[in-house]
Amino acid sequence: MRDSGFPMVAYLIRRAPGMRAVVRDRNYKFKGRLPASLTWVASAIAPMIFEHVPTGGCQSYLVGCEETRAAVLIDPEITQLDRYLGLAAHNGLHVRYLLDTHTHADHFTATAELRRRLEVPIVMHRDSPAPFVDMRVDDGEMIALGRLRLRVLHTPGHTRDSMCLVVEDRVFTGDTLLIGATGRTDLPSGDPEALYDSLFERLLRLDPALKVFPAHEYKGRSHSTLAQEAAENPRLQQRERAGFVAMMRNLNLTMPKHITEALRVNMSGGRSVAQLLAEAGARVPFMSLAELHGHVQAASPGLVILDVREREAFERGHVPGARLLPRGQLELRVNTELPDPTQRILAYCELGQISTFAAATLRDMGYQRAVALDGGMQAWRAAGYPVAV
Ligand SMILES: [Fe+2]
């Protein structure tokens, strides 16, 4: 949607120093001249399309130039892929850049997957450890987005590769500055001394009226301003370096969930387990427990029921009529176990995840009637269906 934060009379035409700026409205109609006493003459404010996508505590942003429809996705998160693409299409935007403000340790970036789909560059700071970054940027540089300019401010501290992006009336602060907090400095490449410099020597020296849009916000607030944060953010009240650093070193925060996997994925461009599962799940149909029960009762000869768990689990109890073929042996044993590729095959496991991978593998191998159980042995037992031993 069009951002309503801009005043109606918002367009100033750049003038040579000393000349008075001409003020025009959205349609470039002449609205008068600024008083000569105003010294901040003439920075053009370009109209922006702005979408904010919260995912739990993670915040991502779609920013587009209204005139040219070029857009950037900032800190996209993997579970929101379809939403981002839908929002871009809804707004008539062409996503030109995928940008991470830093290497995230607590959620999975969608930049690598979106690049596979959109074939546009991934932008990160020069110090990013990720080998898949296409466009490395440095402090003071700008990313051109039609009439918009995103200015890079290198703000290490939360991570070494953290950057903030200033565009028009707002600043995307990543995890350098949050609403009422700051990013933590105890994760890989974090440095409280650097964060102090980034906050007090860089960020807080910008225009206090700039709106702050962080990468995390857990209380549902959309944004604040630098002035508000300087006045009210408890961590920014520690204005002395030593006090600030000591405070950051003594936060004793718990480690984020999935930190190992998040760093692996975000630093390598690889896929998370959830992503692999979602991709496998998108390629196979599922069968309900009740439908399978119907087949078991009818002793359907046309359905091969394949238990893909390990032998021990199978022997403790399985779906009546099921055959054992553990997932780990699937590829090597299909030729002898499943000689007919036209057979209808139902794969199940304990929880319904391994069987999804198994059914996808079977489909890859030519078993075009392979399906996965929607649920697993655990749900089968819980539903009171018969168990054979
Ligand atoms: Fe972070």
Measured in Å, residue 381 CA sits from the centre of ligand 1 at 41
Residue 18's pLDDT is: 40
Measured in Å, residue 181 CA sits from the centre of ligand 1 at 13
Domain residue ranges of the chain, discontinuous segments joined by +: 48-268, 276-382
* Residues 151-205: tens digit of each pLDDT: 999 999 999 999 999 999 999 999 999 999 999 999 999 999 999 999 999 999 9
Angle made by CA atoms 31, 35, 40, in degrees to the nearest 5: 100
**Is the separation of the CB atoms in 72 and 63 below 8 Å?**
yes
Measured in Å, residue 256 CA sits from the centre of ligand 1 at 10
- Sequence-distant (≥ 6) Cβ neighbours of residue 352 within 8 angstroms: 372, 373, 374, 375, 376, 379
Measured in Å, residue 220 CA sits from the centre of ligand 1 at 18
Task: Determine which helix (DSSP H) or strand (DSSP E) holds 163, and give its type and residue range.
Answer: strand 163-167
Residue 222's pLDDT is: 93
Kindly tell me the burial class for residue 335, based on how many C-beta atoms sit within 10 Å of its own C-beta (0-12, 13-18, 19 or more).
Answer: exposed
Q: What is the pLDDT of the chain when averaged over all its residues?
A: 90
List, as one string, the DSSP characters of 255-306.
Answer: PPTTHHHHHHHHHH----HHHHHHHHHTTS-EE-HHHHHHHHHHT-TTEEEE
Domain 48-268 has CATH 1.20.1250.20: no
List, as one string, the DSSP characters of 114-140.
Answer: HHHHH---EEEETT---TT-SEEE-TT
CATH number for 276-382 (one of 3.40.640.10, 3.40.250.10, 3.40.50.720, 3.10.450.50): it is 3.40.250.10
Measured in Å, residue 183 CA sits from the centre of ligand 1 at 7
pLDDT band at residue 26 under the 50/70/90 scheme:
very low
* Residues 198-256: tens digit of each pLDDT: 999 999 999 999 999 999 999 999 999 999 999 999 999 999 999 999 999 999 998 88
106 compared with 100, residue with greater pLDDT: 100
* Residues 109-136: tens digit of each pLDDT: 999 999 999 999 999 999 999 989 999 9
Measured in Å, residue 38 CA sits from the centre of ligand 1 at 39
**Is the separation of the CB atoms in 348 and 319 below 8 Å?**
yes
Measured in Å, residue 248 CA sits from the centre of ligand 1 at 15
* Residues 67-94: tens digit of each pLDDT: 999 999 999 999 999 999 999 999 999 9
Residue 30's pLDDT is: 52
